[in-house]
Structure 1
Amino acid sequence: MNDNEILVTIGNTPYTTTIKHGNNTLIADEPEELGGQDEGFNPPALLLSSLGSCKAMTVKMYADRKKWDLQEVNIKLSYEILKSELQQTTYIKCHVSLKGNLDKDQKDRLLQISEKCPIHKILSNPIIISSNLI
């Protein structure tokens, strides 16, 4: 398995899904009211988690390289789907909070940098998903 591959497995337990990447494992699930076991994040939460963690890591790496006093990054994410006759549009909101001894210019720059994280770039550009049976 390479760095871009994830193995997802579901068995007989309704909706409880094991996600493997290298030596790491996550559990995804649905809440009990939807028939799941509520043992892990649901798929939309995993998507938002991926975006938020990528933004936070990217901001931290940049601040560390600049030797800026960034002590903590908090990102609160949510999404809303608006449907029309022709398509649906998903709006993801990312509320970024930066703690540390940073001036306004540094904070503004770190917000710009957060939008350059790899997951933000993936989600902001056209995506083609190809599925096949193997």
Structure 2
Amino acid sequence: MSVFRRAATCTQEVPLQGIGTSLDLCPNHRQLLSCSRDDILQLVDLRKSNDRVAFRAEGFKCGSDSTKAIFSPDGSFLAAGSADGAVYIWNVNTGNLEKRLPDMHSAPISAVAWSLSGEYVVSVDKSRRAVLWSDI
């Protein structure tokens, strides 16, 4: 039995910049986060697709064509791993880099995941080493 009962329809097109490596929807489904190879995370307001905010940080480099950036469970923060082996965390409301979690990876980080409680972040690098970060 298929979970899709109706034919899928396109409700909106959102033009993005750069070569996209990942997409994530905010928990409230109002914003779309994209990560791209030009080392920029872009937040798009889906209610007004022309409203965009770019997130950058000195040292942040998208490490591969599959680098994953994500929202925190409450939608207040963004996290992405970098080619320098650090995890970068930005505040959605201010646009500021809140934290840089360095020195645990010796290879580019390819993915991050946030616990549902928001207390932990897990990062994994290209050498298959996973790190659990607490007190985020």
Question: Normalized against structure 1, the TM-score is what?
Answer: 0.25
> Which structure: larger Rg?
1
Structure with bigger strand share is: 2
